[in-house]
Amino acid sequence: MPDRSDTTESVRGTARSRADIPGARRLVVKVGSSSVSGDNVGQIGPLVDALGAAHARGTEVVLVSSGAIATGFPFLGLEGRPDDLATPQAAAATGQNVLMFRYQKELDRHGVVAAQILLTAGDLQNPTHRVNAQRAIDRLLALRVLPIVNENDTVATHEIRFGDNDRLAALVARLLGADALVLLSDVESLYTKPPQLPGAEPIEFVPYGDELAGVTFGSIGAAGVGTGGAGTKVAAARLAADAGTSVLVTATSLVASALAGEHVGTWFEAAPRA
């Protein structure tokens, strides 16, 4: 598909192209379980380095991070995702602590303090909870703290089985009026069909309102670890774009290039802001 995102004129209040990301006022970055747990736990360091660089240039950065359940499984002697609800809740309670420790250990190298924000989709549907979350995160950002948001899997029910943090990240981006949302996964961009299939082509640019007719989405992420996929990322991207937040979908390994404004991933054009 043709790409014109890097030639559009910059508009104050949103990132109109990849090149605008380094100058963003407020940025939400989402990373999935398969990118920060298991064999890929080593990606936390480079991810934090990219976030730290953005923070150092004055951008207000919010990280939405999955991974509590997957991180907790090994500490409970478990492999894979069990069928009951209580065991993943126990894994989330254990893994969230470890995950935050790992993030803070890396952030210490940049002199940045992290704050833990645990939400459910219901919190952002409840007006009182939503306002409280917005006020708390706004204050943390003003204090130059880096909020790390995750779904509150220990008390979640439906979300823990079928939900994903792509939607949560889009809701957080809308809540905070983020200039851009960066959705990270295991694949460098979205494709016209699952990338392992013959004829699959990368999608560089999605104009606002494009229905992506003829595009077939497969899964993204390690089986048994992540709950999201390409389809959930498209749905989340549209949710954020409708509110005026541009979205970039790319690989966790390319996060430094993405936050530096380089031409990577799939760019979703945002609706014009009032």
Q: What is the pTM (predicted TM-score) of this model?
A: 0.90
pLDDT tens profile 140-172:
999 999 999 999 988 876 544 435 789 999 999
Q: For the chain, which residues make up each domain, given as ranges? A: 5-268
Crossing angle (nearest 10°) for helices 165-176 and 127-142: 70
Residue 222: CB partners within 8 Å, gap ≥ 6?
33, 34, 38, 186
| pLDDT over 90 (residue 263) | yes
206: nearest Cα among 173, 230, 176: 230
Mean pLDDT of 17-39: 95
DSSP class of 112: -
pLDDT tens profile 171-212:
999 999 999 999 999 999 999 988 888 989 999 999 999 888
Instruction: Give percent helix, percent strand, percent coil of the chain, each to the nearest 5.
Output: 45, 20, 40
Distances (CA, A) of 209 to 214, 242, 269: 15, 9, 9
Could you list the residues known to form a binding site for substrate, using ranges: 66, 153, 165
Could you list the residues known to form a binding site, using ranges: 30, 66, 153, 165, 185-186
The confidence score (pLDDT) of residue 30 equals 97
Residue indicated by tokens 């990577």: 264
94: nearest Cα among 124, 69, 118, 112: 69
CATH superfamily of 5-268: Acetylglutamate kinase-like (3.40.1160.10)
| pLDDT over 80 (residue 219) | no
Upper half-sphere CA count for residue 266 (Cβ side, 13 Å)? 25
The residue with greater pLDDT, 128 or 211, is 128
Could you list the residues known to form a binding site for ATP, using ranges: 30, 185-186
The confidence score (pLDDT) of residue 273 equals 74
Average pLDDT of the residues of the chain: 88
Q: Both ends of the chain: CA-CA distance in Å? A: 28
Q: Are 15 and 246 in contact (CB under 8 A)?
A: yes
Q: Are 264 and 18 in contact (CB under 8 A)?
A: yes
